[in-house]
A = this chain, B = another copy of it.
Amino acid sequence: MAAGRAPILTPRGDDFPRWYQDVLNKAELADNGPVRGTMVIRPYAYAIWERMVAEVDARIKAAGAENAYFPLFIPESYFQREAEHVEGFSPELAVVTVGGGKELEEPVVVRPTSETVIGEYMAKWVQSYRDLPLLLNQWANVVRWELRPRVFLRTSEFLWQEGHTAHATEDDAREYAEHILHSVYRDFMVEVLAIPVLVGAKIAQERFAGATNTLTCEAMMGDGKALQMGTSHELGQNFARAFDVGFLDEHGEQRICWTTSWGVSTRMMGGLIMAHGDDAGLRVPPRLAAVQAVVLVVRDEDGSVTAAAGELVDSLGRAGVRARLDARVETGFGRRATEWELKGVPLRIEVGPRDLAEGQVVVARRDDGAKVPVPVAELAARAPGLLEEVQAAMLADATERRDALTTVVDSVEEAAEVSATGFAVLPWRLLDDAAIDLLGRSAVTVRCLQTPDGELPGGAPADELVAVCARSY
């Protein structure tokens, strides 16, 4: 940011929630919708979401699941069939009572999640063990009425993918739920988002409504609070029984399936902002960025700089870099540089008449602010490597910050204290109901259980597990 100017954003240290809101507005990411709790995702943010979708979708397909689409509207009666599910979701439902000008005979629910309706179709499509596993996914909008909405983090409508699978055995279902958590979610979050998420299992009280086991990816935000970035659920036979999803096994016996569900959402956009943002705005990791490099014409008297900058954009494109030209010379250079800084574009390539005369451009890294001159002739060849350097630096940086905010403790009192500003890791056996209540009074929850070396609990004995506690979004 140019010296001497008033900060464009509220500094994070002053008021983190307000900084977050400022980033949403000033970087033109999102607005509140007219109906309470809904949001408008603006083009720059939506392009980042499209990149998230592409990267997650490729991993889902590699995991063997196929995309499909199920209806937005679900008969209210479907929710009654799984007792915990209806109890968990009833307070959040939006209900359509009028259609085509008439009161409906049976009200329909706007899907908050699709286990029920997909269960109904799984029952039709699965007959034999040969039809298993059935691996489905859908990209869709869902609605959960929010009383305390916050854009991207908790909205009444959000965009997500929801995977739904049916398996012949409990082991198959467990293995697949874990595979999704590791190979789709954690891999995407670490490798693309550059966010070093923890993995673990939720405690019973924090499970998805109707699940027998909920696995989670938990990230550390810039203010020391945790964010649940994605979950993968074993649903046991709860939904399969409720919707009669069964199959004839190899021996001709009729059996009930084991199902899973798993999802990540536009909430990850909030995680991106809060994990990587700084007082100058958003910072987008290069592998995620829809715009990886902006070529900025500093000034131009005769069109020659713009022409040269345009050629640079083309040559970057040929080198596989997602580059964009900013030749809006009628707007001051400083203002535009600040705008791209706000938007977190990884590389800002500044091209002015003097630079060109010297056969070079100035490359500014968004992650650490470093500026280096690069010969014009070398730019396209060097940019991909530089972007990978930025990617690695951002992950290293986020990992260091998370580790600095993580404290291993051996009492509930210490856990309550350090959880105010980060992750507290303590032996799970210390957390009886009274201890969980105590933490709850400081708005601290158990984010997940894991083995001491950070793996999923799997079959490990409960008294060997650690609980990771934090305040959270």
Chain A: residues with CB nearer than 8 A to chain B? 31, 33-35, 38-43, 46-47, 49-50, 66-75, 78, 90-101, 107-108, 110, 117, 120-121, 124, 136, 140-141, 143, 145-147, 156-157, 159
Contact = CB atoms under 8 A, between A and B. Distances in A.
Contacts of A157: 71-73
19 contacts: A33-B117, A38-B72, A38-B73, A40-B70, A40-B71, A46-B66, A49-B69, A50-B67, A73-B143, A73-B156, A93-B99, A93-B100, A94-B96, A95-B97, A96-B110, A97-B97, A98-B107, A100-B146, A101-B145
A149 to B, nearest CB: 11
A71 B38 contact: yes
Contacts of A94: 73, 96, 98-100
Given A97-B95, A100-B93, A33 B68 contact: no
Nearest to A107: B98
A137 to B, nearest CB: 9
A71 B157 CA distance: 7
Copies of this polypeptide in the complex: 2
A140 B69 CA distance: 12
Given A31-B121, A35-B74, A68 B43 contact: yes
A159 B139 CA distance: 12
A99 B145 contact: yes
Contacts of A40: 68-71, 121
8 A-B pairs closest in CB distance: A100-B145, A38-B71, A43-B66, A33-B71, A95-B98, A41-B69, A35-B73, A99-B145
B121 A71 contact: no
Given A40-B121, A72-B143, A95-B99, A67 B90 contact: no
A247 B429 CA distance: 64
Contacts of A101: 90-91, 93, 145
Nearest to A97: B97
